[in-house]
Amino acid sequence: MDRRRFLELTGLGAVAATSGGLLAACGDAKSGGGPGTTGQSQLQKVLPAYVPSAAVRPDIPSVQGANGFFSEPAFLAYPSSPVTTVTATPGKGGTYTAKTPLWGAIPSSTGNSYYDAVNGALGATVKMQPADGVNYDKVLPTLFAGDKLPDWLMIPSWNMTNLGFSGAVTKFADLGPYLSGDAVKAYPNLAAIPSSAWQCCIWNGKLYGLPSYYSGANPGGAFYYRKDVFDRLGVSADSIRTPADLEAVAKQITDPKAGRWAFGDLFDYLGQIFKFPGEPNKWALDAAGKLIHRYEMPQYLDALSWFQKQAKAGYVHPDALAGKSDQGKQRFWSGKELITADGTGAWKGDDAQSGKAANPSYDRQALKPMSVDGKPQIDMTPSANMYSFLNGKLSADQIKECLAIANYLAAPFGSTEYLTVNFGKQGVDYTIKDGNPQLTERGSKEAATTYQFLVTPLTPTTVIGGQTQVAKDYAAWEGEMVKYAVKPVFYGMNITEPAQFAKLNQPMVDVSKDVRYGRKPISAFQDALKTWKAQGGDQLRAFYEDIRNKYGTGQ
């Protein structure tokens, strides 16, 4: 999971993608320890007990899928009588510094009503120090090198590679003595966090992290289409099940004279259709049970060939082929691209508002799962990719106070605590409109996403911007999607690749783009693959074979 994909999934925005070598997720191995991994027997000792919350009943319940994956519950309005899940003031008057990334304008902490409201409810002072999320990777190494870690620090998985994190994590407090097993029941809202999310917070056999923005099933995104335009053109998306079906529809809907093309750059998501692994892990097992990298898979080459064919046929928007990916959302909203692939965060009420600004009839819908063989499957990415940590220099009493604060921050949607943490003070920072909380002008400037990066409850599907039908559509799609959810190879294992492989991937990314855009022939990719194998690809395979032999594949 890279930062671009995370932000797409959560709808927090979009920034340039960078892919590191850390598989963000966690120990699910047979025995022993390793480069971040945790043995299965040790894992069971470290994991907190799971006690689901029954405090609030959703309007649309979650759907249980295969391998324990489940869709998020959905709420069509905030409960009119919010429940209280934390009866006593959690804090004891302590003061703590907390640093998190922030993708957006950083608010002033002086006279900030939102910060005052949250800290007042916490009974402690958590001094939020948000930093520019785009450049967060430059902020973190300085903190570690100068031993200037704050009391509470949030680190995204994609920023861990250059920290040597399997070693750096020892600077943080081991939370196992406070949360492992039944101990977590002292913090009911933390106990309601699924085991799959806690698993992503374990390094080297110890529980170090608190998860934020995790999910019950993380598909990495979906394929979307403009249903309103399809309906106007008399084209149905219901029959699209294979790449050939997708190509046939592309031919129908592409009309350059009308300023309309079928596709943007879908390639990063084609693994769902052609069945090769996506981010963050790139390995699979071949028919003989041997480890194979996605670059070596015939399916990857098939996907390159398919997309190149679409590009040469004129079905891909010229700006997409020119690398203007940052304008992709706008092209979809304006109807210049009718089929796109994006994270699930793109399918929100804010998206509907932006789309309707260009066309009042705007209707984004997701295509049904597709595959080359008529047997769809969707590889899940790790449940959690962002974590916060408590400084190892804190005393036991301070750690307990911070965990009590975290228990408040993790209160579920539908609670009074959730309103405070996410919206601040009613009448000042937010009001209730059409059954849902809505930030005031002041709140929109001051209530930045900060405390939520320290720990969050399971994020449900909710109505955004009054778009009730969007919430219903998304909940129905996710409930269907989990039926196809599977665990890829090395799912749930925390593996840090050796530093010598850090630059191995980028040349393959570049040549893949040149090939699929039609700038180079397929043979250029095959030649680059030979170089990739010779310059470290085969060594990387041996590294993962060793992990597999010692700890299994996490499936």
Identify the pLDDT of residue 535.
Answer: 95
The per-residue b/e assignment along 231-266, b for 16 or more CB within 10 angstroms, e otherwise, is: eebebebeebbbbeebbebbeebbeeeeebbbbbbb
The pair of structure tokens assigned to 385 is 């990719």
DSSP states of 78-94 as a string? --SS-B----S----S-
- 103 alpha-carbon distance from chain centroid: 15
pLDDT for res 27: 35
**pTM for this prediction:** 0.84
> In the CATH scheme, what architecture does the domain 3-217+384-486 have?
3-Layer(aba) Sandwich (3.40)
- Exposed e or buried b per residue across 404-419, where buried means at least 16 C-beta atoms within 10 angstroms of its C-beta: bbbbbbbbbbbbbbbb
Q: Residue 495 forms beta bridges with which residues?
A: 23
CA–chain centroid gap for 210, Å, is 15
- Distance CA(152)–CA(149), nearest Å, equals 8
Same fold, 3-217+384-486 and 222-379: yes
Along the chain (555 residues), what's the average pLDDT of each consecutive run of 10 residues?
44 31 34 47 83 93 86 92 96 98 93 97 98 93 91 92 81 97 98 90 89 86 96 96 97 98 95 90 92 97 98 97 90 96 86 88 95 92 90 98 98 97 96 91 95 94 88 94 90 78 92 97 97 96 89 73
List, as own/partner pairs, every contact residues 12-15 make where C-beta atoms lie below 8 angstroms and the sequence separation is at least 24, other chains included.
Answer: 12/103, 12/104, 12/345, 12/449, 13/103, 13/104, 14/326, 14/329, 15/103, 15/133, 15/134
DSSP 8-state symbol, 534: I
What is the CATH T-level fold of the domain 222-379, as seen in this structure?
D-Maltodextrin-Binding Protein; domain 2 (3.40.190)
Helix, strand, or coil (residue 39): strand
Residue 382: per-residue pLDDT: 81
- The pLDDT assigned to 204 comes to 80
Q: What is the 3-state secondary structure (H, E, C) of 304-365?
A: HHHHHHHHHCCCECHHHHCCCHHHHHHHHHCCCEEEEEECHHHCCHHHHHHHHHHCCCCCEE
pLDDT at 265: 94
Q: Most distant CA pair in the chain: distance in Å?
A: 69
Predicted pLDDT at 38: 56
Domain borders along the chain are 3-217+384-486, 222-379
